[in-house]
Chains A and B, each alone.
Chain A
Amino acid sequence: MTLPIALDAMGGDLAPGEVVAGARRAVDELGLAVTLVGVPELIGDPLGLEVYPCSEVIAMDDDPAASVRKKKDSSLVRAAELVRDAKASAMVSAGNTGATMAAALLRMGRLPGVVRPCIATPIPNPGRSPMVMVDAGANAECTPEMLVQFALMASAFVAAHYRVDRPTIGLLSIGEESSKGTPLVKETHQLLAASGLNFSGNVEGRDLIPSPVDVVVTDGFTGNVALKTLEGALRFVFSTVLGVIDTNDETRAAGRVLMDHLVPVASRLTPESQGGALLLGLEGICVISHGSSNATAIMNALRVAAELVEDGVVAKMRVAIRPEAG
């Protein structure tokens, strides 16, 4: 029997309306089994989907760790418990990222040997599989050993999910030379070079999209800043192009010709199309969708979660971290 995916119906700026609509589309268009986890009175019409009821909601600005302890009957905590108790195959949330991580960590637990879980965010990479950036925001302060473990987990994830043999790994720095960067970067460079992973050396911010490597590793603070910078820059480019197209009748006519070509490119680069980020290092699958997720983004996040279950990502990561466990 296929276990459903537990979807936090209360998480996200557009919840529960867009979240429930996305779940319905995932069921209808992708054939997935989905359980909504949320407060029934707030969900309203569940569009015929099963609801696992709870009574609390963790807000976007709630303190992550404290809220998970205080709001034990929240949709986030209950969704993580459904995975822990083998009543759901994975969980998806577009809610408070820190609280999602805390709930998943505290309820599902870490894989043996994992020091800290990290957030892996796929970034579109034209012409090849997405580049995966770790850590995209879970751990603001890291040690070199943590970064090496993030690289190891991301490498196992990319191999399992994107079928890339020995993924290449880049270390985010301010120059390609190993002598450049902070003490953390320089020490991590040395450890990665000796790790047996397919380390390609340092990459710079301009190498994030398109990227010459399959995995970019950095600390969670830098990763989150880089990710949001990329997102903002892409938005600016899109709006600038649209503004230019709307300049006069001539450009609008040209726009009508170009739009059929521009829209597919733009849609591949939006966060909605990516389905969200994955928490690596846990005894279960947790997909974190963008806070502003619409129905399409939620459907894609559910699709990614189902694919990760199918790929056996958790079992493969367990072996990658502790080869003797395989």
Chain B
Amino acid sequence: MTADAVHSSPLDREAVRNLVTEQLAEILEKSPADIGEDVPFTDLGADSLALIELVEALEERLNAYVAGFHIDDEDLEGLTSVRDAVDYVSAKLQAA
């Protein structure tokens, strides 16, 4: 964590996974249990707009841990499943 950090405890991978799963479940009106980590977003019924919703929700929630947390639009194409998103977010949090 850098001086930018605004939350005392960083999130580990498990916490990030729970966060991503919960947010996506809320957007898709599904149970978190129905959100498989390796299931492609498209197979879960998440279209491009739903993914933007997810990105904006994650940015808002993760701002509590890293001020100004931002997911680059250029990186979105590479995020095709919960696992991708969790790996990406975890790496960004660690680098912050």
Q: Which residues of A does B touch, CB under 8 Å?
A: 64-66, 68-70, 101-102, 105-106, 113-116, 139, 141, 143
**Which residue on chain A has the smallest CB distance to residue B71?**
A69
> CB distance B53 to A106 under 8 Å?
yes
| In the A-B complex, the 10 residue pairs with the closest CB atoms | A65-B52, A115-B29, A65-B48, A65-B49, A102-B49, A106-B56, A69-B73, A66-B73, A69-B52, A106-B53
Query: Whose C-beta in chain A lies nearest to the C-beta of B55?
Result: A69
Return the CB mask of B49-64 against A: 1 if under 8 Å, else 0.
1111101100000000
Q: In this assembly, does B78 line the interface, its C-beta being within 8 Å of a C-beta of chain A?
A: no
Task: Please measure, in the bound complex, the distance between the C-alpha atom of A141 and the C-alpha atom of B53, giving whole angstroms.
Answer: 18
Given contacts A106-B53, A106-B56, A113-B29, 11 further A-B pairs with CB under 8 A are: A65-B49, A65-B52, A66-B52, A69-B55, A69-B56, A70-B73, A101-B49, A105-B53, A114-B29, A115-B29, A143-B45
Which residues of the other chain, B, contact A69 by a CB distance below 8 angstroms? 52, 55-56, 73
Task: Enumerate B24-78 residues with CB–CB distance to A below 8 Å.
Answer: 28-29, 45, 47-53, 55-56, 73
Task: Determine whether the beta carbon of A115 is less than 8 Å from that of B49.
Answer: no
Which B residues have a C-beta under 8 Å from some C-beta of A?
A: 28-29, 45, 47-53, 55-56, 73
Q: By DSSP majority rule, is chain B's interface helix, strand, loop, or mixed?
A: helix
| Bound CA–CA A203/B30 (angstroms) | 31
- A65 CB contacts on chain B under 8 angstroms: 48-49, 51-52
Within the complex, the shortest CB–CB distance from B74 to chain A, in Å, comes to: 10
Q: Do A141 and B29 have beta carbons less than 8 Å apart?
A: no
Chain B residues contacting A101 (CB-CB under 8 Å) are: 49
> What is the minimal beta-carbon distance from A298 to any residue of chain B, in angstroms?
26
Complex CA distance for A105 and B45, rounded to whole angstroms: 17
**What chain A residues lie within 8 Å of B47 (beta carbons)?**
139, 141
Contacts of B45 in A (CB 8 A): 143
Chain A contacts for B52, CB-based, 8 A: 65-66, 68-69, 102, 106
Contacts of A106 in B (CB 8 A): 52-53, 56
Nearest chain A residue, comparing its CB with the CB of B53: A106
A105 touches B28 (CB 8 A): no
User: Residue of B at shortest CB range from A140?
Assistant: B47
Task: Specify which chain A residues have a CB less than 8 angstroms from the CB of B73 in the assembled complex.
Answer: 66, 69-70
Question: For residue A64, which residues in chain B have a CB less than 8 angstroms away from its CB?
Answer: 49
Q: Offer 25 A-B interface pairs, CB within 8 angstroms, sorted by A.
A: A64-B49, A65-B48, A65-B49, A65-B52, A66-B52, A66-B73, A68-B52, A69-B52, A69-B55, A69-B56, A69-B73, A70-B73, A102-B49, A105-B49, A105-B53, A106-B52, A106-B53, A106-B56, A113-B29, A114-B29, A115-B28, A115-B29, A116-B50, A141-B47, A143-B45
In the assembled complex, the Cα of A33 lies from the Cα of B49 at a distance in Å of 32
